[in-house]
Amino acid sequence: MASLPRSVVHEWPYTIARPGVYKGGIRGLQAVRIAGFRDSAAFFGKVLARNGDSSMAQLLLRGFDIRKGHLDTAAQAGLIELLRPILKAAPLYRPIMPSGKEMSVRMTSAGAMGWVTDRAGYRYQDTHPKGMSWPAIPDKILTIWQNLTGADRQPDCCLINYYGEGTRMGLHQDKDEADFSWPVLSISLGDDALFRIGNTTRGGKTESIWLNSGDVVIMGGPARLSYHGIDRIRFGSSRLLPKGGRINLTLRVAV
């Protein structure tokens, strides 16, 4: 296997190079190999043709199933409308890590459980730090989970992260859930974000890809506990949110 530099950034859109073999295989979709990628065993893409364009694609990067352009502009705008009352009922706040340092993103949740962090540690709890219950996860969001994961269970947490200008999220594992056999599904809305994927243990080489509005990432299987994070956003790169920035939703089966 060719060795990779310590960190590789995959730019999108890629030039499609030549047919390759996609090990996961999805019937009816053409398997293609992506140009410019050196570690052919680890990274394959499949183009889903839509009205003659190739803006939708499924990529597999270090076991993360990345659906480029899964949500069209109307679907993205629809989700933002659904989030408005949630953000009113359970406002975004800036969480504090157990170290006492503030996170740069602002956060809230929907669902029976919400993920929180403070001096007492990382955990799920059934109330917002201000005391109110979390609002319900909208059906449209649950449908995305159902369609893409086919899981028998619905998520009980939709963590909502807001990335303003200059914000980031360090490499971390999602490991506060009770059962890692359920995937985590992430939906990107708004500004582009540089998403870094590492390994299931700390350290080692990493690879990054720009996530755009409408992209969905499924983190499951052997990659469920892989380190991942957001290095930076391209503030103002999308017009989805009137004041700019990025919203990321992660659907989780917490308890």
Q: Is 172 annotated as a binding residue?
A: yes
**Residue from 155, 113, 161 nearest 134 by CA:** 113
Q: Is 161 annotated as a binding residue?
A: yes
Q: Is 123 annotated as a binding residue?
A: yes
Tell me whether residue 13 or residue 170 sits nearer to ligand AKG (CB atom).
170
The reply to whether 208 sits near ligand AKG by the rule CB under 6 A is no
Q: Is 119 annotated as a binding residue?
A: no
Q: Which of 250, 251, 253, 254 binds ligand AKG (CB under 6 A)?
A: 250
Q: How far is the CB of 60 from ligand AKG (least distance, A)?
A: 17
Site string for ligand AKG, 128-167 (x = CB under 6 A): -------------------------------x-x------
Q: Is 122 annotated as a binding residue?
A: yes
Interaction with ligand AKG in 209-248: which residues (CB under 6 A)? 228, 230, 248
> Rounded distance, CA 62 to CA 202, Å?
15
Tell me whether residue 159 or residue 240 sits nearer to ligand AKG (CB atom).
159
**Residue from 155, 168, 58 nearest 114 by CA:** 155
The reply to whether 186 sits near ligand AKG by the rule CB under 6 A is yes
Interaction with ligand AKG in 5-24: which residues (CB under 6 A)? none
Can you spell out the DSSP letters for 68-105? ET-S-HHHHHHHHHHHHHHHHHS--B--B-TTSPBPSS
The reply to whether 169 sits near ligand AKG by the rule CB under 6 A is yes
The reply to whether 76 sits near ligand AKG by the rule CB under 6 A is no
Site string for ligand AKG, 188-207 (x = CB under 6 A): x----x-x------------
Compute how many residues bind ligand AKG; rule: CB under 6 A. 12
Q: Is 67 annotated as a binding residue?
A: no
Tell me whether residue 110 or residue 193 sits nearer to ligand AKG (CB atom).
193
Q: Which of 56, 62, 141, 174 binds ligand AKG (CB under 6 A)?
A: 174
Can you spell out the DSSP letters for the chain? -PPPPSEEEE-SSPPEEEE---SS--TTSEEEEETT-S-TTTEEEEEEEETTEEEEEEEEETTEEEEET-S-HHHHHHHHHHHHHHHHHS--B--B-TTSPBPSSEEEEESS-EEEEETTEEEEESB-TTSPBPPPPPHHHHHHHHHHH--SS--SEEEEEEE-TT--EEEE----SS-TTS-EEEEEEESEEEEEE--SSSSS-EEEEEE-TT-EEEE-GGGTT--EEEEEEETTS-SSSTT--EEEEEEE---
Interaction with ligand AKG in 28-67: which residues (CB under 6 A)? none
Known binding residues for Fe cation: 172, 174, 228
Contacts with ligand AKG by CB under 6 A lie at 159, 161, 169, 174, 186, 188, 193, 195, 228, 230, 248, 250
